[in-house]
Amino acid sequence: MEKLKGESDYIEILEEILLQYFTDPIQAIVENTYPSFSSILDDPSYLQNRAILAPTIGVVHSINEYMSSLNTYEGSTYLSCDSTCKSDSNVEMLADVHTPEVLNGIKCLGVANHELTLKVGTPVMLL
């Protein structure tokens, strides 16, 4: 590809938007996006004006876990069902393939996690 006149080989990112000098990247992202998060839990507008975009479900889970840990309220944990539907004709075969460990470990887009912990004051997004 031919380089056009005035075209540059790199994109310059301003220093003030770069996160520098951190040991925990999740903590750095959260603290820069939501400064004073734990003291402003009861202000919905504070959360509506900010967002963290994450590349994978694993990163989303890590950010959610970290932000939940900032909330000092006691949480209630809810578990999903961990068995297959008994109305299927191949119940025995499904039970062998879909063990509780396999069902509880599924983490993908469109499927709820097996364990959900809710705390007073923590925002929840329903899709």
Q: What is the pLDDT of residue 1?
A: 47
Q: What is the pLDDT of residues 69-109, one digit of tens each?
A: 888 889 999 888 766 666 655 556 656 667 778 777 777 77
Q: What is the pLDDT of residue 82?
A: 66
Amino acid 109 reads L
Average pLDDT over residues 11-37: 86
Q: What is the pLDDT of residue 94?
A: 59
Q: How far is CA 109 from CA 17, 80, 82, 113, in A?
A: 30, 16, 18, 10
Global pTM value: 0.67
Q: Where are the domains of the chain?
A: 20-72, 74-121
**How much of the chain, in percent, has pLDDT values that exceed 90?**
9
